[in-house]
Structure 1
Amino acid sequence: MEAHPSRLVTLSLFIWMASLQFSPMILTKASSCDFPAIFNFGDSNSDTGGLSAALGQAPSPNGETYFHHPAGRYSDGRLIIDFIAESLGVPYLSAYLDSVGSNFSHGANFATAGSTIRPQNTTQSQSGYSPISLNVQSVQYSDFKKRSQTVRSQGGIFETLMPKADYFSKALYTIDIGQNDLTAGYKLNLTTEQVKASVPDMLGQFSNAVKQIYAVGGRSFWIHNTGPVGCLPYSLDRFLITAAQIDKYGCASPFNEDSSSLL
């Protein structure tokens, strides 16, 4: 169903990440929400067309509620990243991988459906997970930052389709990823404890990716928590769970315990 949350009038950013240690300290509350651009990293929760551009358009009924046609989102309507863009007064983000009709003047989206923090040792056709893991997305961002200014210097239409140089330090950097790392473990028949044991490595690789983005200009970060994997219909349908492990909300409590360990 299409969500209709109230319009985000202000975005009070509390940048929390216990595993990151930056110098100088940047984990602070933003004093202003005047962001001229957004650069997004993640999975299907925020993919606005990356996987569709790479492997074929997400088919109907995706997009039917709001866009009235497939729009690169694995959803019938808009995603949270779309509402954030609306609130900031910037256009919906074009996918970095989409070469057709893309406008990157106010940011770019590096997310692809099925992405994980840790690179998967399988192909997309084998597991369903995207090869565009978070470390790849951070490299794409770094490359985009450099090349976009070269393209912009050509003037004309090229100048209007690329972000201004100072937008990179003033932009909002949003990251929504980690859910698929947990389900990848379940697909390999790992136990809940084994999946939980892999979380420190996930956080370590996540931290490294954020540090790489910071090193090339990112300053304001919006980091989403991992959602309750145990409440996803496909988790309940595909992975072994006993009746005793279902909580009062109908969710699989062991899977949600793993999710909470990523918070």
Structure 2
Amino acid sequence: MRSVSGSESECIFPAIFNLGDSNSDTGGLSAAFGQAPPPNGITYFHSPNGRFSDGRLIIDFIAESSGLAYLRAYLDSVASNFTHGANFATAGSTVRPQNTAISQSGYSPISLDVQFVQFSDFKTRSKLVRQQGGVFKELLPKEEYFSQALYTFDIGQNDLTAGYKLNFTTEQVKAYIPDVLGQFSNVIKGVYGEGGRSFWIHNTGPLGCLPYMLDRYPMKPTQMDEFGCAKPFNEVAQYFNRKLKEVVEQLKRIARSCNHLC
């Protein structure tokens, strides 16, 4: 496992594979449950384009800076070219599987473990299709791309909000974060086992500044900071990010140990 920091030559990737939630979903949930309606997409694409945003997402800019086409969603099979990667993210996804239907909670049933299964199957079937030849061969990544690709992850925010929707306190939400990150770590190890070596792992954002959190869970004036954000929610997001950094450092040590032994 290595980071993507360093010289420019170290950051050239032939493909990108992304797993995550709405922060990086380029069409997964729309393909499964119906297109994200307007005003999504109005700023850049000028019409709905699978993103739960009025314009582009960070993953779009990462692909653009790498000279690659925007990632198509794995679940969107219509006119999709996966030569330079695929996007397994779906809006509403969590690291931990949710025991509710999307109509009940709003969370995607395509949790991180499901996305990993989809990726693993995609990798296996891509190799098979390219060996068999035919028209679809040119729409799938070359076998060597899977070890040379950048693997990006942007997920965890919905695991935090899920607790608040169950009326958990901030301390109760913080208490299950180690389990969330344990399951996240297992998926990273799984991707590493599939040959992935370069990882881009996002922090979660300032939960207490999200309009829907402020609207759904009103705070007392003393619980708000100078920017109008809810301090308890941001506190849990910061805690998540500190623990995530610890997990990433641990994974790096494991990877270095494996490389040394191998």
Q: TM-score, normalised by structure 2?
A: 0.89
Q: Equivalents in 1 of 2:12, 2:225: separation in Å?
A: 42
Q: Equivalents in 2 of 1:231, 1:95: separation in Å?
A: 28
Q: Does 1:206 align with 2:206?
A: no
For 1:159-238, what aligned pairs fall within 5 Å after superposition?
159-238=137-216
For 1:144-163, what aligned pairs fall within 5 Å after superposition?
144-163=122-141
Given that residues 147 and 197 in structure 2 are in contact (C-alpha distance below 8 angstroms), is that contact kept between their aligned partners in structure 1?
Answer: yes
Q: Equivalents in 2 of 1:151, 1:64: separation in Å?
A: 37
Q: Equivalents in 2 of 1:70, 1:240: separation in Å?
A: 31
Given that residues 30 and 36 in structure 2 are in contact (C-alpha distance below 8 angstroms), is that contact kept between their aligned partners in structure 1?
Answer: yes
Write out per-residue CA displacement over residues 139-180 of structure 1, whole angstroms, 9 at most, x where no aligned residue.
111110000111222324211100000000000000000000
Q: Which residue does 2:100 correspond to in 1?
A: 122
Q: Which residue does 1:261 correspond to in 2?
A: 239
Q: Which residue does 1:55 correspond to in 2?
A: 33
For 1:3-14, what aligned pairs fall within 5 Å after superposition?
none
What CA RMSD, in Å, does the superposition of the two structures yield over aligned residues?
Answer: 1.1
Q: Which residue does 1:6 correspond to in 2?
A: none
Given that residues 49 and 94 in structure 1 are in contact (C-alpha distance below 8 angstroms), is that contact kept between their aligned partners in structure 2?
Answer: yes
Runs of 4+ in 1 over 6 A off after TM superposition: none
Write out per-residue CA displacement over residues 155-213 of structure 1, whole angstroms, 9 at most, x where no aligned residue.
24211100000000000000000000011100000001100111111110110011011
Q: TM-score, normalised by structure 1?
A: 0.88
Q: Equivalents in 1 of 2:18, 2:215: separation in Å?
A: 30
Higher helix share: 2
Partner SS state of residue 262, structure 1:
helix
Given that residues 43 and 55 in structure 2 are in contact (C-alpha distance below 8 angstroms), is that contact kept between their aligned partners in structure 1?
Answer: yes
Partner SS state of residue 200, structure 2:
strand
Q: Does 1:105 align with 2:83?
A: yes
1:27 Cα deviation after fit: 4.3
Q: Does 1:141 align with 2:115?
A: no
Q: Which residue does 1:11 correspond to in 2?
A: none
Partner SS state of residue 11, structure 2:
coil
Partner SS state of residue 261, structure 1:
helix
Q: Equivalents in 2 of 1:139, 1:249: separation in Å?
A: 41
Q: Equivalents in 1 of 2:223, 2:130: separation in Å?
A: 55
Q: Equivalents in 2 of 1:153, 1:159: separation in Å?
A: 8
Q: Equivalents in 1 of 2:185, 2:6: separation in Å?
A: 20
Q: Which residue does 1:9 correspond to in 2?
A: none
Q: Which residue does 1:45 correspond to in 2?
A: 23
Partner SS state of residue 128, structure 2:
helix
Identity across matched positions, percent = 72
Out of 51, 62, 80, the position equivalent to 2:58 is 80
